[in-house]
Structure formats: structure tokens, C-alpha cells
Chains A and B, each alone.
Chain A
Amino acid sequence: MFTEARKTVKFVLQYFSANLQSAMEYRGAFISQIVFMFLNDLLLLFFWWVLFTKIDSLNGWSFQHILLLYAVASGAHACQALLFGGSFSLGRTIAEGRLDFYLVLPKPVLLHVLVSRSTTSSWGDLAFSLAIFALAAKPSPGLILGFVALIFTAGVVFTSFTVLAHSLSFWLGLSTGLANQLTEALLSFSLYPEGIFSAATRLVLYTLIPAGFVSYLPVRLLQRFSWPQLGLLILFALGLAALARFVFYRGLKRYESGNLVVTNAAD
């Protein structure tokens, strides 16, 4: 089992490395996309900066909490986009019969589809996440490692939710519009403090649209660490990943090949 896990990690890292090398082939475009994405993320904070010149606290959330919220959410999104970028186009891959390529290879189908793509601009998200975290928390090297582990866990939640949303294509045909709306909802809720939402909305945000596990709980852990809360986060991430895997392979039984002859290259 240990050897199997090691092989899987090696497989993911090899794809990650190949994707990175491919993106760096066009050095100018690579660097400009990172820089512009960093600026793009930075400009998102402007609204909060203006708002916090008018108020001191938003139901217990300060500007520093907002910085941590953005650091976690953008870091989690970066982990998904850099390691599991294939998740964003999974619905189209299913509906257009492009899974054939992965089905004939001796690797886990879902993992292979997920790692086969990477979004270059998300290096900018990752740089933003780390920079904002360093600014807001003034962390020690140990805390930085803890932060990276947290955003990876939150990234697993993001990815699993995206897989669940895009797996609808097995039953509904091409439904990328709906899947994109669902993932957009998760991202949007992750970027606003939970203090503004009512108890009923929060219940939804810790279950159906799990923004609570993407950003609210990690921010709470960074503020005041607690083992039970960390355990809850890890348990939820693993549970959602298992559910996403189950739903995907259940849907795969309904998959029909389109006998499509295509070049399997990044769009």
C-alpha cells in the first residue's frame, strides 16, 4: 500500500513538472501571466481596504482576518489549478468523449484527468497567497509549512467539489454551465467573511457549498489552532474526495465513447 501511495505521488509530481516545463517554454508569457495575476488578486483587496476605513470590525472580522481569508482562498485555488487543473474542464472531457485517451492507459482514470492540465497564471495566485500570508501573520518557517498544508487540504476540497459538479455531465450531457456556476459559487462564498451570513446560510456553507472548509475553518485554525478543528477539516476533505471519486466512477459506467480522433493537447 505504501509503495502504491509513493507511486501515485511520483506520478502526480511528474505531471506537475511536465506541465511546468511546458508553461515555461514561453518564458515571457509565463512571467507576465504570473505578474498580472498577482496584481489582479491584489486589486481585489481594494474594496475591503475602503470598507475598513469606514468600519472597525465586521461581526468580529478585521481587515487582518480578510487578508488571511484571501491568502487561504487564493492558495487553495492555486493548489487546485496547478496540481489538478484538469478538474476545470472535466465536464467537457466527459461530454465530448475525450476520456478514451485516459481509459486505455494503466493509471487511475480520475487522477490522470485531473493532473493532466495545469493553469499557468495560478502561480500568480500562489505567490499572492504566500505574500499576503507573510504580511498578515508574520509567520515562522514552521507556520509557513503549516499554511502550505492547510491550503493543500482546502485545495482538495475545492477539487473534489469541482469533480462532483462536473461529473453531472455523465447524467445530464454537456452541463459545464451549471458546473461552472456551482464552482463559481464556492469560490465567491470563500472570499467573503462568514460573519455576514445568517445561521441558515452558514449551515449551507458548511455542507452543500463547503466554503466553510475552504476558507473559514482554515482562517480560524490560523488564528487559534485546535486539533479537533484540524481533524474535522482533514476528515471533511478526505470524505469529500472519496465521495467525488465514488460519483465519478459511478458515472463512468454510463460513459459512452464518441470514437473521436483528437490530439490530446492543452487547449
Chain B
Amino acid sequence: MLVSVREGDPRSLEETTRDLNVEAEPTPQPMNPTAEQIGSADLVVGILTELDSNALAKMCDALSTLPSPLRIAVLHDDQQKAAASVNSETTQERAFVFHVPSLLAKPSVPTTGIVGMSETYQSVFAAAEKLQAQGCCIIASKLEMATPPWAWRIAQPLFESQADLVLPHYARHKFEGLLNASIIAPMMRALYGKRINNPMGPDFGVSQRLFQKMLAAKVGGNHLNALASLTPTALCQNLQIIEVHFGTRSYPPTDWSNMSSVLADVLAPVFVDMERNAPFWQRTRTSVPVRVMGEPHSPSDQDSAVMDERTMVESFQLGNRELQEIWSLVLPPSSLFELRKLSRLSIEQFRMPDELWVRIVYDFALAHRLRTISRDHLLRSMTPLYLGWVASYARDLTLAGAMSPERRLERLSLAYEAGKSYLVSRWRWPDRFNP
């Protein structure tokens, strides 16, 4: 973990060293001050991903070009690499390096997935609060050589445009980030009325006002998932949200045979938030775009991902055959009938209509709220349906004369908006309204 105090620091190196009661050495050596010794910082940057020394040095360089003189604390949990990077030539003239092991706390209980990530995000917020920062940035995506300016792009709107939440808009290939593209982003757009492309980041810029709200909610016993609740909290509080074009984000290949745990992990906090914010989103009718900064990028190279549609459709058909007793607790008869019709189609003819998919997602969200069955079972039983939609989407895009992924996903988003009245009716009268 590392804190680098950047150019523009009102205190000199000597002052800082005296304050820390550490003897200066000819060669810069990492020191370990506490947060109290550091005092304050204007911006806290949490690096939650592996970052090599060159990338970290470039990122620090990019941050130093922010317009106003800022004290910037960079938190990184890989001490060795971090120390090496900031002692490099790129930054040694302008940055002091301090190790602060207490700031980016590891989760108390070893947790994985979204829950573990959420705890780490909360620890960055806590560090920012401790250092009285005006904002904080979190970089969780794996960075390539071309992406160190991401931290700068996230930080800039926090200080120049007084944004409360800066969200990324990645240029991605057509088969990447599909859980976000097929459920999270269009559903949040329909619910909260703001067209946001990556509501769950995972790279964020957060203002002091917003991270204080997140920390206050945690103290108040209202357990928000920092990753899933950040955007809905900002939307419900009418805070200013800005999207920034980020360029291509590198994704490792997707393991489509292991989707159930991912679905349960990601959708659980999203549905919990949906329940928490129901009074707000039931009032929203239409969607509007949010302010976007930067130039849009195209994906850097050709999409090489291969989709095994046959296996996905077979998973859907198996699910339709074996999971009827569970789906019938969640879905209305009309949806079950349509699913049965779909399962009889050949792979070449297989198409899941967006309207049906949207109703399925909304019905699962409702069942999650009503706890019709165990929530983990519920979300895992959605896997064959999700794979069915992915197969249908893949076929839509691979056919000759197919529409672009953006247009295809826009059509899906409109279906989510059109289906919102269905959701509201089911949400308000789960027993009475059963089409």
C-alpha cells in the first residue's frame, strides 16, 4: 500500500519528514506513516487491481496534470510493486512515498466476489474520509499499458465539473460485459430514468458528499453494497452523475459454464437495492441521458470471442424441462407457456423476445423481494434463462445483415422501459396482478 503526496503539496519534503520524525536518506526509501501523520489529502485513489510499476508511475504522472494543486494519496495493496514504481525516475522529483498499511484494510472475514469487493470499496471510502479528501477514485479494472490515464479521467470531473459520481463508459466487444448489458444497465435505466452504461463500474469517481452518505449508511446499519448501491444512491439523492468515455476495457475470457454463482453474486445486491429504493423508482416514468465527457472509442481490436450457442440453448432446454417446479413459483403462466414454446424450437430458430426476457427479469426481482423461495436458489435457477437470452442475442448479432450491438442493446433497453408498467403492477399487487 502506498501514499504518494503529489506536487502542489503545501509542505515541503523536509517538513513532511520532520513531521513524521523520520530521518531523510540519500536514496528515497518507503516510510510507513499513519493516517494521522499524513494529515489530509484532496484526492484518494484506490487501486484495487494488479498494477505494474510502469503503469503506476504513468498513472501518477497523469494525475499530476490535474488543474488545481492537489494532495493526492494513492492506495495500493501491493507494497513491493508500489514502492518500486513511485521511486522510479518518472515521479521521484514530485512525489514522496509513504506506506500506510492501515488505510486500505483487508476485509475482516475472507470474502470473495461482490461482497468482498464491496468491503474493499468501503475501506477506500473510509480512508478518504479519514484524510478529509474532497473525492476518491477507484480503479478495479485490470489496466493495460494504454489505460493509466483512467484515474485522471475519473478524477477530472470531480474537481472541474463538481460531479458527485463519475462512471465509466467502456468501449467493449459485443460479447463482453453481457450481464451488465442485458440486465443491470437497462434495468437501472428503466427504474431510475437515467441512461447509464455501467452503473456498477467497477471503476468509479466519488465525491465527498457521496462517499460520506455511503459511510453513514453503513454506520446506520443500512448495509449497502458499495459496488451495487453507489449509483442508485446517487440517483435517489439527485446527485450529479457524469459518464466518461474510457476506451477499451480488457476482459478475460468468459466461462459460460460457470454462470450461476456469478448471477447470484451480482444480482442479489442489485435486487436488494431495487427493493430498498422502490418508493423512488415507482415515480419515475421516462429516461434521460446523463452528461458524457470525452470522445467515444471503438473497441481496439476485432472481437475474437466465440459463443457456443448450441450448448447455451441446450442448457435452456434442460432448465425448462427440469426447473418447471421452481419457475412456476416465480413466473406467471403466460411466461411459462412462452418458454415451453421456445424450448421446442431448433437452435437455428431459437429467439427469445426481449419483452419475454424483460418480464422474466422483473418477475425474478419480485420473487427476490417476496422471498418466494430461497434467494440463492432463485438467482441460480435463472441461469438457463440467462443463457437462453445470451444465445438469442448472439444469434441476432451473428446473422447476415445483423444490427450493431449498440442498436440491439438499445432495443433491449426500450423493452425494459416499456415493461416497467408490468413491473410496477406486479410490485404493487403481487397476488392480484398475475397475467
Query: A and B: real partners?
Result: no
